[in-house]
Amino acid sequence: MKRKQRRSRKTKDTIVIVCGRTKTEVNYFKSFGLKIGRLGKVRVEVIGTGSNTAEPIALVKNAISLKDSDSSIAAVWAVFDKDNFDLGPAIDEARDSGVSVAWSNQAFEIWFILHFEFFTREINRAKYSEILEKHLGSKYEKNDRNLFDKTFAMIENAIENAKKGHQQHITFGHDPDSACSCTTVYKLVEELLKWIED
């Protein structure tokens, strides 16, 4: 009598990160993916939409579509900035669809600043570059592929500062749209770090 062959189930071993059209986030998380990939535990796939708009709701819809289309995906994250958009609808839609979000108000650069200092001041995002340049001791380039390496040694500091700032904004009753300067990128980074540290 022939034994029935078991169907092999696809392992959920991919974390998909959907970013907007800027290369800052894409380069950063691709570097993270390379670091994790060398350990062979999980694959990080970073998708830059390349669209002319980085509207948060569009990124979330893209992330939902990817999540529903591939059984090897363990988690899907949408990474987006406030810029001039409303964050609320995108965050709600993501939560209702099982997609995680890492938002920044106003821009992703606040995550880099938090590696060096605790920062919650409300300033225009254009000033973030000046602050970063002081800390880096060199000109800040949005497409710098080495930002991950330049900041990774201080990542625990960034997580601690980001958590503290996020909690402070919550305590003050700020929703994501009014929480400037603030980011929840630390949540995604903590998830990625689990795969390095395990």
Residue 126, pLDDT above cutoff 60: yes
Portion of the chain with pLDDT greater than 90, in percent = 63
Q: Are the C-beta atoms of 60 and 90 separated by less than 8 Å?
A: yes
Residue 95, pLDDT above cutoff 80: yes
Q: In sequence order, what are the residues at sequence separation of 6 or more whose Cβ sits closer than 8 angstroms to the Cβ of residue 187?
A: 100, 102
Answer with the residue of higher pLDDT: 106 or 45: 106
- Report the pLDDT averaged over residues 83-99: 94
Would you call 196 helix, strand, or coil by DSSP? helix
Backbone angles phi, psi at 94, to 5 degrees: -65, -45
Where exactly are the structural domains of the chain? 14-197
pLDDT digits (tens, 9 = 90+) for 138-195: 999 988 999 999 999 999 999 999 999 999 999 999 999 999 999 999 999 999 988 7
Residue 9, pLDDT above cutoff 50: no
**Of the ranges 7-11, 22-26, 49-53, 109-113, which one carries the lowest mean pLDDT score?**
7-11
- Report the pLDDT averaged over residues 105-131: 95
Q: Which residue has the tokens 């920062």?
A: 119
| pLDDT band (50, 70, 90) for residue 83 | confident
DSSP codes joined into one string, 118-184: -------THHHHHHHHHHHTS---TT-TTHHHHHGGGHHHHHHHHHHHHHHHHHTT--TTT--SEE-
